[in-house]
Amino acid sequence: MVISLLLVSGLAIAQDFQNVEQGQIVPFTGTVLTPDAIAKIITIEDAKFQTCQENWKHEINTLTINKDTEIQKLKHDLEVTEQTKDKIITEKDKEIERTYELIKKENKNLTPLWLGIGFTAGLLTSFSSFYAYQTLTNN
C-alpha cells in the first residue's frame, strides 16, 4: 500500500510534499510526503473506493431488480400460456365430442333394417316362386 501511495503522490497539493536530493539524509532519491499529504491521498482513494463500491452495489441491485422483474414476467407468461393451453385442450375435446356425436347420429346401426329387407325379399321370392309353380302346374 505504501508503494501505491508513493506512486500516486502526484495527487498531493504543492505545500504537502518536499523534494529530496541525493546526499540529504534519506535512503533514496525521490519525493517525501508529509503526513498531511498521505492523509489526503488516503482520503481521496478511500472516497474513490467507497464511490466505486456504491456504484457496484447500485448496479448489482439494478441488475437484481431487472432479473427479478424478468423472472416474474416469465412466470406470468408461463401461467397465461398454461391457462390458454388448458382452454384450447378443453375446447378441442368438446369439438371432438360434438364431431363424434354427429358421426354417431349419421351412421346409425342399420343391421336390423337390412335383416328385415332381406327377410321380406326372401318371403316375396318364395311366395312368387310358389305362385308361379301353382299357375304353371294347374293349366
Q: From the CB of residue 40, how many other CB atoms can be counted at a distance below 10 Å? A: 16
Q: What is the pLDDT of residue 4?
A: 44
Q: Tell me: the pLDDT tens digits for 27-55?
A: 666 777 778 888 999 999 999 999 999 99
Q: What is the rounded (10 degree) CA torsion for 77, 81, 83, 84? A: 130
pLDDT of residue 18: 64
pLDDT single digits (tens) 85-115: 999 999 999 999 999 888 877 767 778 888 9
Non-local CB neighbours of 29 within 8 Å, separated by 6+ positions: 20, 21, 22
Per-residue pLDDT, 72: 97
